[in-house]
């Protein structure tokens, strides 16, 4: 590829950035040891497996929390609040409780 034409098309006319770009292209290319590639590939596969397992477990927790939340009388009240997701709704139910009689009035 004609890099000078490419730089012109990209409107890079300043000589300093142009020279830095062209100098970087002429430097020797990075080489990577095959043993390093093999080790990092194995690490990546291991991490992907762990993330898949974690995602599945989190899905199970979410289903369980959703089922527990549905068992409360006000189960639709907390999730209807702005910016309240399932987890925060469950925390609100636990924090505030389900016994309405423990509060003397709404401001309490």
3-state secondary structure 30-88: CCCCHHHHHHHHHHHHHHHHHHHHHHHHHHHHHHHHHHHHHCCCCCCCHHHCCCCCHHH
17-45 tens-digit pLDDT: 999 999 998 888 888 899 999 999 999 99
For residue 99, the 8-state DSSP code is -
Within 10 angstroms of residue 19's Cβ, the number of other Cβ atoms is 10
Q: Domain segments of the chain: what residues?
A: 1-30
Q: What is the pTM of this model?
A: 0.54
In this predicted structure, the answer to whether residue 99 has a pLDDT above a threshold of 80 is: no
Residue-level pLDDT at 106: 75
């Amino acid at each position: 590829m004609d890099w000078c034409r490419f730089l012109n098309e990209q409107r890079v006319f300043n000589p300093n950035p142009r020279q830095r770009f062209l100098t970087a292209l002429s430097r020797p290319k990075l080489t990577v040891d095959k043993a390093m590639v093999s080790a990092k590939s194995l690490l990546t596969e291991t991490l992907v497996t762990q993330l898949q397992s974690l995602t599945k477990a989190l899905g199970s927790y979410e289903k369980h929390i959703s089922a527990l939340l549905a068992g409360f009388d006000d189960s639709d009240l907390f999730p209807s609040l702005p910016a309240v997701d399932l987890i925060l709704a469950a925390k609100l139910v636990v924090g505030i409780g389900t016994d309405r009689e423990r509060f003397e009035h709404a401001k309490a």
